[in-house]
Amino acid sequence: MKTSIRAVNGFRVWDSRGRPTVEVELVLESGITGRGIAPSGASCGSNEAVDLRDGGASYGGYGVARALENVAHLISPALVGLDAMCQASVDARLIELDASSTRDKVGGNALIATSMAVLHAAAETTGKPLWSHLAEGRAISMPLPEVQIFGGGAHAGRRVDVQDFLVMPVGASTFDEALCICADIYRIAGECMEARGGRMGVADEGGWWPNFSSNEEALQVLTGAIERAGYGNGEAMISLDIAASGLYKDGYYRLAMEDRQFDSDAWLDLVCSWVAKYPILSIEDPVAEDDVLGMRKFTDVLGDKIQIIGDDYLVTNVDRVSQAITDGCCNAVLIKPNQVGTITEAKATLDRARDAGWGTVISARSGESEDVTITHLAIGWNAGQLKVGSFSRSERMAKWNEALRIERGGAATKAFSGLGALPIKVRAGQEDAQASGRRSRVAR
C-alpha cells in the first residue's frame, strides 16, 4: 500500500529561543514525506504533555537526545506499515506507547512532531493544501487573530506579572485587514514605549519588552495606542493572558512587581475593575489551574460579557473541558496540540468545546519554529481564532503570512470570523461603531 508508513526519522533542530527541539520526517511507501517540528512552552500547565529533555550541562539541559532515541526505537517500529491516511489509527498507536496525561515516558515533543508529520504526509498524498485536507469540503472562515503587543510573565523575565497584552481586530472584514490593524497598533505601541524611554527590544513571542511601574499601566498604554492608531471605536479590543497559575501561591494571587496580594474574591474584583475601565474582550487563565471555585465565580460574573479562555486550566484535554462545562467554568478553550500529544486528541477537545457553544482558539507556544501547521489547523478546523504571538520575529510572521496566502488563494471562502468567533453577546452599539470606523478608514 503506497500510503503506508515506510520510515519515521527524528532530527534535532532549533527553536526560536535557540534551544533544541524535535523534528520528525515521515516517509511513505510512495516516497511522499511529511515533517513536523515540536514547539515548546515557557508557561506550562502541570497537567499537560511534557517535553522530554536530557538535563545535565549540555544545551542548558534542554537537549532532546532521549526524545530522538524514542522516535527511533519506540515510535518508528510501532508505526511502520500503518496507513498514514488513517490519522486516528496512527495517533491511537502513539497513545498506546505512552497513555499517561503528561506523556513523560516517550515525550510530548516526540509524539506531537510525529503526529504532525503524519498529517502533512496525508495531505501531500491527496494533493491538497493541509487546510483543505482538514476541512474535508466543509465551508471555512478565516480566523480572528490575537496579536501580542506587550510580552510579560514567563515570556519577559516577569518584568510585569500579566503574561500577554494582546489586541483582537474584531472590526476587520478580512484577515488581511485584521493584520493591517494589528500592524498599526504594534508600531504605535512601540513609539509610545520609545517616547517613554521604555522600548527595550522584544519578548519571547515578539511583543515589546515591558517597562511599566504596574500591570495596569500597561493596559493604559495599550489602550492609548489603540486610540492613537484610530481604532478606539471598538474595531480593536484587548485580550489578556494572565497565566494566573504563575501568580498563585498558598491561596493568594500575588502581583510581585507591585508587592500586592489578593484572595480569590479580591482578585476577581481587581480583574473586573480592569474590564470595566479598559476595552477588554477576552481573558485567558484569569485564575490558577486548580482554582475551580474562582473560575466558576469569574465565569458567572463575566461570562456573558467577555471570552474566558482556559489554557493551563484545561491543557487541551477533552475530559477537563467536559468537566469545566459541567462546572460552569470558562466559555472558550485554547488548543495547543503539543499540550496533549497528538492531532487527534487536539481535535477531539476542539469538537467538545464547540459542541458546548464555546469559543475555540488555536495557539502557538513561546518556543516556535518556521512550522506553520497551526495556521492550517485554525483554518481547516474552522476554529474561528488564531493566537500566534506578536507582529515581529519570523517564526511568528511565517504563520500570519501563511494565513494571508490561504485567504488570497481563492479556494478558501472570503468569510472572516471576526467578532462572531467569540462566545459572547455583541456589546450595545459595537457593530455600528465598527462599521463607522471602517467607513472612516476608507475615506482616509
The residue extents of the domains of the chain are 5-127, 144-443
CA–CA distances in Å: residue 313 to residues 175, 244, 246, 317: 29, 10, 12, 10
Count of other CB atoms within 10 angstroms of residue 33: 16
pLDDT of residue 45: 82
pLDDT of residue 437: 57
pTM of the model: 0.94
Q: Domain 144-443 belongs to what architecture?
A: Alpha-Beta Barrel (3.20)
Count of other CB atoms within 10 angstroms of residue 105: 13
| Secondary structure of residue 130 in the 3-state scheme | helix
Q: Are the C-beta atoms of residues 45 and 339 closer than 8 Å to each other?
A: yes
Q: Is 425 annotated in the active site?
A: no
Q: What is the chain's length?
A: 444
**Alpha helices (H) in 196-317, listed in sequence order:** 215-228, 264-277, 292-302
Which residues fall within 8 angstroms of residue 155, CB to CB, at 6 or more apart?
42, 43, 163, 164, 203, 204, 205, 207, 366
Burial per residue of 164-203, b for 16 or more beta-carbon CB atoms within 10 angstroms, e otherwise: bbbbbbbbbebbebbbebbebbbebbbebbeeeeebeebb
Select which of 205, 284, 345, 368 is catalytic: 205
Which residues fall within 8 angstroms of residue 192, CB to CB, at 6 or more apart?
221, 224, 225, 228
Q: How far is residue 179's CA from residue 197's CA, in Å, rounded to a whole number?
A: 27
CA–CA distances in Å: residue 169 to residues 143, 210, 305, 360, 438: 11, 22, 17, 17, 12
| Secondary structure of residue 306 in the 3-state scheme | coil
Q: Are the C-beta atoms of residues 392 and 206 closer than 8 Å to each other?
A: yes
Select which of 336, 347, 387, 399 is catalytic: 336
Would you state the cell numbers that stand for residue 238, as one nine-digit string? Answer: 484587548
pLDDT, tens digit only, all 444 positions of the chain: 699 999 999 999 999 999 999 999 999 999 999 999 999 987 788 889 999 999 999 999 999 999 999 999 999 999 999 999 999 999 999 999 999 989 999 999 999 999 999 999 999 999 999 999 999 999 999 999 999 999 886 655 667 899 999 999 999 999 999 999 999 999 999 999 888 876 667 888 999 988 888 999 999 999 999 999 999 999 999 999 999 999 999 999 999 888 899 999 999 999 999 999 999 999 999 999 999 999 999 999 999 999 999 999 999 999 999 999 999 999 999 999 999 999 999 999 999 999 999 999 999 999 999 999 999 999 999 999 999 999 999 999 999 999 999 999 865 556 899 999 999 875 544 555 555 555 455 444
| Secondary structure of residue 397 in the 3-state scheme | helix
Query: Is residue 262 packed enough to be buried (19+ CB in 10 Å), middle (13-18) or exposed (0-12)?
Result: middle
Burial per residue of 316-339, b for 16 or more beta-carbon CB atoms within 10 angstroms, e otherwise: bbbebbeebbeeebbbbbbbbbbb
Q: Is 284 annotated in the active site?
A: no
Which one-letter DSSP state was computed for residue 430? Answer: H
pLDDT of residue 257: 86
pLDDT of residue 61: 95
Task: Name beta bridge partners: 144.
Answer: 385
Q: How far is residue 355's CA from residue 420's CA, in Å, rounded to a whole number?
A: 16
CATH class, range 5-127 = alpha beta
